[in-house]
Structure 1
């Protein structure tokens, strides 16, 4: 086996997973030129291109897709074996990669990362902020964070937060100018800050309840976002009514910066969970992270 060639395989896989050289370079803490060189070395040794490159995109060739399908699982097996050796030694070190929606960072993740840095200086935690639904195993993550209802049944899930409500809020300035809606039907006459789903590109219908029944409500307005924290910012500026998880705006409600709209129409969500494949539960780095998360949530 060509040792130089083998060393470049993880770089090729990261380019494939990240969909580009710049994204792979950032993920690997390498320069884009070093990533490009590694891919070029592999392509030259194999005698065929693995990626089709244009000025706007990078995609796998047929040979590249076959390479990733063959090499990816093999490297994953090697990494898993290394983790098992570390598990036997109880070593908390290396790289822990997690995929997290941005709203979960202030609710459950940031304080744990601070504590992990204090306790385990040999561990690097790489956090990808991602609102879409992805296959964390295929994308090379050790764990992810999502709402309980969004987690596949074959994953192990650890609760991070208690259930919370999804509510509608608006600023006093907006309410003074436009008034309060008195029913779900009234939302059609208000400026609602909408969401675009990254995974499907569809506009998100708000999940509400009416007369004890769950309903999906199509809303409209002058702005649509993919980030709930930005929806909060817009609501604070008086742009319109925002649909948010209550913990994100608890302080705003307490101080009066925002007011709840149609409280009887809100629904309860199951809360946020850390999830991961069963084999990953043996990793010391993940076990340590779970322990810190549990302690920080007490």
Structure 2
């Protein structure tokens, strides 16, 4: 028997003052109880009970051991009972990572829903544009574009493929003119995104468009670069160059005319946003609650309603 099993035998006999009653309480045979107590006494070299044909009494050593073990085992039992709270009522702490451009998804939509329905779940939110190893970094879940998610993760779609735009301020286009083809961007000031961890500037990708030109990717001359899409959008608003941004980042700017699209037929969509998490985590009540609310959000098409 394990040490904890022997301890439970000892406690049952000490509380019942009877091997027979202890055996009945534990649903084992009196012989098993007797052997277990003898094993515990033999392991530590101290008699714990005084036995006769009519009664069982604790020795001084047994009484001292009972005084220590009873509250300790009660605490252990309470801790295991508390696990039921996590099983039946979602609770706990959720650490979630998302790119800066899509942090609004958490702040505006997902977290308020979760807090309203599951107030026992708390959040630690981290905005990071780099690729994040959830397990190594200690996160429970993340939000990323589909192509950025490792294949061993469980992923739940939150949106259809996302629309992106090549944009600049009206003033910039008034001064420098609209590019007619993607290659014209090589002669324009562009504002590029830089990955914060690797320092890489991802190339801009373009489709063939209506003119039949082959799909290409370009490393434009970066007049400016930043590792935050919000900053890139602000630099574009100031008329400092052309930026390549997701529409959900600049929807208000497009609607108000602060930013204007160019080369739209050449700008491809990307895979949509996904909630992702390790497969083994989906059995936790807090993760199941997150899956539920994320699925409802996706079903309502909140992000799909963004302008194309």
Q: TM-score range by the shorter chain?
A: 0.5 to 0.7
Greater shift in the superposed pair: 263-272 or 281-290? 281-290
In the alignment, the residues of structure 2 paired with residue 123 and residue 88 of structure 1 have an alpha-carbon distance, to the nearest angstrom, of: 10
What is residue 50 of structure 1 aligned with on the other side?
A: none
Partner of 2:124, secondary structure, is strand
In the alignment, the residues of structure 2 paired with residue 174 and residue 88 of structure 1 have an alpha-carbon distance, to the nearest angstrom, of: 56
How do 1:1-298 and structure 2 match up within 5 A? 85-86=83-84, 89-107=87-105, 110-210=108-208, 211=212, 213-297=214-298, 298=300
How much has 1:277 moved relative to structure 2? 0.8
5+ residue gaps in structure 2? Answer: 1-79, 301-308
Partner of 1:207, secondary structure, is strand
Partner of 1:96, secondary structure, is strand
5+ residue gaps in structure 1? Answer: 1-81
In the alignment, the residues of structure 2 paired with residue 108 and residue 213 of structure 1 have an alpha-carbon distance, to the nearest angstrom, of: 38
How much has 1:173 moved relative to structure 2? 1.2
In the alignment, the residues of structure 2 paired with residue 88 and residue 245 of structure 1 have an alpha-carbon distance, to the nearest angstrom, of: 38
CA contact (8 A) 1:100 1:129 kept: yes
Task: Give the TM-score normalised by the residue count of structure 1.
Answer: 0.68
Specify whether residues 182 and 285 from structure 1 end up closer, same or farther in structure 2 by C-alpha distance, changes over 3 A only. same
How much has 1:286 moved relative to structure 2? 1.4
Partner of 2:135, secondary structure, is coil
CA contact (8 A) 1:209 1:267 kept: yes
Give the number of the structure whose alpha-carbon radius of gyration is greater: 2
Q: State how many pairs are aligned.
A: 217
Alpha-carbon displacement from aligned partner over 1:272-296 (angstroms, at most 9, x marks no partner): 1011111111111111122222223
Partner of 1:177, secondary structure, is helix
In the alignment, the residues of structure 2 paired with residue 162 and residue 254 of structure 1 have an alpha-carbon distance, to the nearest angstrom, of: 21
Partner of 2:192, secondary structure, is strand
Alpha-carbon displacement from aligned partner over 1:66-118 (angstroms, at most 9, x marks no partner): xxxxxxxxxxxxxxxx8x94587322212101111111122455311112222
Greater shift in the superposed pair: 101-110 or 111-120? 101-110
In the alignment, the residues of structure 1 paired with residue 271 and residue 199 of structure 2 have an alpha-carbon distance, to the nearest angstrom, of: 24
Partner of 2:223, secondary structure, is coil
Partner of 2:275, secondary structure, is strand
Specify whether residues 271 and 180 from structure 1 end up closer, same or farther in structure 2 by C-alpha distance, changes over 3 A only. same
Task: Give the TM-score normalised by the residue count of structure 2.
Answer: 0.66
How much has 1:165 moved relative to structure 2? 2.1
